[in-house]
Chains A and B, each alone.
Chain A
């Protein structure tokens, strides 16, 4: 990304003819020229310093025998003990395994669903149908998880629409909102309902950018619709797919908090505990968990960082664009 290499500097310079001249001047002169830009940027940088960099530095608590009742620097550093405790803690291991399960389920079932949805949408010729459909499926993305869970309870809950209908037909009530065993399926339905439509937006844009002459040439050469899909469409949107895959990999340990916390009471913690809820219930609501929770959070952050760097590296080696080589 924004690594300050000499190459990057020279690459950035020609975009503005004034830049190289300004760079050679002493800081005082450059400040006199650019102070409005710095003033405009500073508030955001202060926000980052306070609410991103300070907490990042506080992560050192993970290596301390921390107590909130003494000043930070008086806490003794004890190394990796808390990480060791974490991995011997069955609750943490369960939360980690659950998180990985949810993350892979999202990767395997929601992500491809968005691609398929985009392909189907793209093949609809009528603009009217397309835009109507798009306005419907984007909408739930803007709903909070509280709303999504509430609406789901109204339809799939014990007293919901479907249960009522089933009882009316002489069947039994649905219990899916409370059943720990099927929570994964429920979570999948909720992700799909909320996010899959929105997920297709970027694929649709990539599909729209494909040169139609390619399709025409292929059709003239006798390629049918499936071969055109395989040989033109999919290779054309591959960079976008790879890009989104990398981003998903980077956030593989952060599957979110709200969806699981909201349904924790209904399905039990065993099925719904993820890393974020583990940290919340262990440090914020309980006492003496500060170092342990920070260690779990730091573990999550570092693994996310490593995954995103590794995935990007692999993408580069495979000849894909990846996320950053620009800016």
Chain B
């Protein structure tokens, strides 16, 4: 994955790399191997389950029968039948498309709100600056209860409506602080002043000067928002239990988690999801759905990973 990019980046400055300082004593063999063992076990605990999910999703009936049922660890022959079935227009396809749209629309709205507020609050001394900032920061200290929030959504008529999965969570004060701090510390004030002198208004300064310099941090914040929307589960359980096309996480819960419980209603819901998918083993179908849920995250991840630390630190230190 991103190990490849890391390697090339490191190779460029090879002379200084991987050098233990002269004053540092060499670690003992025992200490070194204990450390290696710990790291390997920890990484394996993360990778092995994911590998098993992937292997099962491409398994055939034969392979599953040989391994004795639900899981395959070493697939002998690979079949993409399960993916063909879940992506051929059934409940899973609809749900994936719905969640993709939810993620795209939600992330766009979130970024507009956050960028606007972060830029608007990046000039100490502007009108109502402290009032607005306080109003945003209070949200980090207190959280209104579940029922009052539900009541607001109900009053707005948004129950069982897609917008109830976006509007209540589309703005996060944490991301505001991260972005605002970035605007205030990493974009040189001289540039902004220069733009002003050249006659650019605030909007033009923002779009032409500040935002082009903030692409990396915008990508990270966008990822955080997008992952939040992609992982929508609680909000859907709370606000949209009656929605016909459910977010993918709710669908997976009904199909994989609830169906293992001895309740007639859940079993019926699970059966409805997989109806018409007869050519691939049931275990493969479920795992293929899980893989489809993981893929968007894994695809985005390497591009943005290198900026994580910066974003997290900015938010934590300057808050």
Residue positions of B touching A, CB distance < 8 A: 1-3, 6-7, 10, 17-21, 23-25, 27, 35, 38-39, 42-43, 45-50, 52-53, 56, 67-71, 73, 112-114, 116-117, 119-121, 123-139, 141-152, 156, 167-171, 176-177, 189, 201-203, 206, 227, 230-231, 233-234, 237-238, 249-250, 252-253, 256-258, 260-261, 263, 287, 290, 293-294, 297-298, 301-302, 305, 308-309, 312-313, 316, 318-319
**Bound CA–CA A298/B142 (angstroms):** 9
**Bound CA–CA A123/B202 (angstroms):** 47
**Bound CA–CA A20/B73 (angstroms):** 68
Q: What are 21 A-B contacts defined by CB distance under 8 Å? A: A1-B134, A2-B130, A4-B130, A23-B125, A37-B121, A40-B202, A41-B132, A53-B135, A55-B151, A57-B148, A135-B1, A144-B249, A146-B252, A147-B294, A150-B290, A161-B49, A202-B312, A294-B147, A300-B143, A304-B143, A326-B318
Interchain CB contact under 8 A, B119 and A37: yes
Interchain CB contact under 8 A, B137 and A2: yes
Q: Which residues of A contact B128 (CB under 8 A)?
A: 38
Q: Residue of A at shortest CB range from B11?
A: A128
Q: Which residues of B contact A30 (CB under 8 A)?
A: 126-127
Interchain CB contact under 8 A, B126 and A34: yes
Interchain CB contact under 8 A, A139 and B46: yes
Q: Which residues of A contact B260 (CB under 8 A)?
A: 153, 157, 266
Interchain CB contact under 8 A, A48 and B139: yes
The answer to whether A287 has its CB under 8 Å from any CB of chain B is no
Annotate A113-143 by CB proximity to B: 1 below 8 A, 0 otherwise: 0000100110111111101111111111011
B218 to chain A, nearest CB (A): 15
- From A91-99, A100-108, A179-187, A276-284, give the one contacting chain B: A276-284
Among B24, B148, B258, B290, point to the contact of A151 (Cβ < 8 A).
Answer: B290
Most chain B C-beta atoms within 10 Å of own C-beta, residue among A1, A144, A197, A298: A144
Q: Which residues of A contact B46 (CB under 8 A)?
A: 136-137, 139-140, 193, 197
Interchain CB contact under 8 A, A133 and B70: no
Q: A215-B23, A266-B260 are in contact. List 17 more A-B contacts (CB 8 A).
A: A3-B134, A33-B127, A44-B136, A133-B43, A135-B2, A144-B249, A145-B231, A152-B49, A197-B42, A201-B312, A216-B23, A243-B316, A266-B257, A279-B145, A284-B150, A294-B148, A302-B142
The answer to whether A149 has its CB under 8 Å from any CB of chain B is yes
Interchain CB contact under 8 A, A41 and B256: no
Most chain B C-beta atoms within 10 Å of own C-beta, residue among A34, A293, A326: A34
Q: Residue of A at shortest CB range from B126?
A: A34
Known: A51-B149, A128-B7, A202-B313. A2 touches B142 (CB 8 A): no
Among B114, B123, B171, point to the contact of A16 (Cβ < 8 A).
Answer: B123
The answer to whether A234 has its CB under 8 Å from any CB of chain B is no
The answer to whether A248 has its CB under 8 Å from any CB of chain B is no
Among A1, A143, A204, point to the contact of B309 (Cβ < 8 A).
Answer: A204
Interchain CB contact under 8 A, A47 and B1: no
B241 to chain A, nearest CB (A): 9
Interchain CB contact under 8 A, B125 and A18: yes
Interchain CB contact under 8 A, B49 and A327: no
The answer to whether A258 has its CB under 8 Å from any CB of chain B is yes
Q: Which residues of A contact B305 (CB under 8 A)?
A: 134-135, 138
**Bound CA–CA A176/B73 (angstroms):** 21
Interchain CB contact under 8 A, B147 and A283: yes
Among A34, A38, A55, point to the contact of B144 (Cβ < 8 A).
Answer: A55
Within A152-184, which residues are at the interface with B (CB < 8 Å)? 152-155, 157, 159-161, 164, 167-168
**Bound CA–CA A67/B52 (angstroms):** 51
Among B43, B116, B144, B318, point to the contact of A58 (Cβ < 8 A).
Answer: B144
A62 to chain B, nearest CB (A): 8
Known: A44-B171, A123-B35. A160 touches B116 (CB 8 A): no
Within A13-65, which residues are at the interface with B (CB < 8 Å)? 13, 15-16, 18-20, 22-23, 27, 30-31, 33-34, 36-45, 47-48, 50-59, 61-62
Interchain CB contact under 8 A, A324 and B319: yes
Q: Which residues of A contact B309 (CB under 8 A)?
A: 201, 204-205
Most chain B C-beta atoms within 10 Å of own C-beta, residue among A8, A36, A134, A257: A36
The answer to whether A318 has its CB under 8 Å from any CB of chain B is no
Interchain CB contact under 8 A, B171 and A48: yes
Interchain CB contact under 8 A, B71 and A301: no
Q: Which residues of A contact B316 (CB under 8 A)?
A: 202, 240, 243-244
Q: Which residues of A contact B201 (CB under 8 A)?
A: 36
Q: Which residues of B contact A300 (CB under 8 A)?
A: 143, 145
